[in-house]
């Protein structure tokens, strides 16, 4: 994996993508503002990631610096769209199949959802509720995303 040397707040850091992933393994993402970075299939605010990876206070760097550094490490960085829903052909199911596409990365995890936006995904409903409370967020729904077709459809396993 990639290794990057960067000076942030007059301090030199040598960061590796694997090490950044390790720092975030047991962390839940904070609410996404306008920008995000995808690490381990989850969207994180870039400043949360760089702050955890370097130990720096988030006031020591800006979002642009964090995004640029994370992109250099090979992570996907993006900007949240206004609709936050993948555009494509209408399919069957809720929201023309768009909801299934939005939830695909969260199979087997508990999610809190507002509209079609996944606010948080965690391994337990307690973790989801704690995150919502800690960040003052409200969700329209909270549920376990099925990880097998028979769970989603209610069909008996073969």
Beta bridge partners, 121, equal 111
Binning pLDDT at 50, 70 and 90, where does residue 21 land?
A: very high
DSSP secondary structure code for residue 106 in this structure: G
Considering 50, 79, 108, which residue would you say is the last residue of a domain?
Answer: 79
- Judge whether residue 78 has pLDDT over 70: yes
Statement to judge: residues 103 and 149 lie in one domain? yes
Statement to judge: residues 105 and 133 lie in one domain? yes
Half-sphere exposure of 149 (CA within 13 A, CB side): 3
* Separation between Cα atoms, residue 49 and residue 35, nearest integer Å: 12
pLDDT for res 153: 60
Considering 54, 79, 104, which residue would you say is the last residue of a domain?
Answer: 79
**Domain-located, residue 31:** yes
Beta bridge partners, 42, equal 39
Statement to judge: residues 11 and 71 lie in one domain? yes
Q: What integer is the mean pLDDT of 44-72?
A: 95
**Domain-located, residue 74:** yes
Binning pLDDT at 50, 70 and 90, where does residue 1 land?
A: low
* Mean pLDDT of the residues in the chain: 84
pLDDT for res 42: 84
Q: Which domain holds residue 104?
A: 94-153
- Judge whether residue 72 has pLDDT over 70: yes
**Domain-located, residue 89:** no
pLDDT for res 94: 60
Q: In total, how many domains does the chain have? A: 2
Statement to judge: residues 26 and 73 lie in one domain? yes
In contact, 24 and 58? CB cutoff 8 Å: no
Statement to judge: residues 99 and 139 lie in one domain? yes
**Domain-located, residue 146:** yes
Statement to judge: residues 71 and 9 lie in one domain? yes
CA distances from 64 to 3, 46, 102, 120, 126 (A): 19, 9, 26, 23, 33
Binning pLDDT at 50, 70 and 90, where does residue 86 land?
A: very low
Statement to judge: residues 44 and 75 lie in one domain? yes
The pTM is what?
0.65
């Amino acid at each position: 994996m990639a290794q990057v040397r960067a000076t942030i707040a007059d301090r030199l850091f040598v960061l590796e993508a694997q090490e950044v992933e390790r720092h975030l393994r047991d962390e839940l993402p904070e609410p996404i503002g306008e920008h995000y970075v995808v690490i381990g299939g989850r969207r994180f605010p870039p400043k949360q990631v760089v702050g955890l990876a370097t130990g720096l206070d988030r006031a020591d760097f800006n979002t642009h610096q964090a995004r640029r550094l994370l992109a250099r490490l090979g992570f996907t960085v993006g900007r949240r769209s206004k609709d936050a829903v993948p555009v494509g052909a209408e399919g069957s199911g809720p929201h023309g199949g768009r909801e299934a596409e939005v939830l695909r990365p969260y199979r087997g995890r508990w999610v809190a959802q507002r509209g079609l936006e996944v606010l948080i995904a965690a391994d337990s409903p307690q973790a989801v509720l704690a995150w919502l409370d800690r960040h003052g967020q409200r969700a329209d729904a909270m549920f376990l995303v099925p990880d097998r077709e028979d769970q989603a459809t209610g069909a008996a396993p073969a």
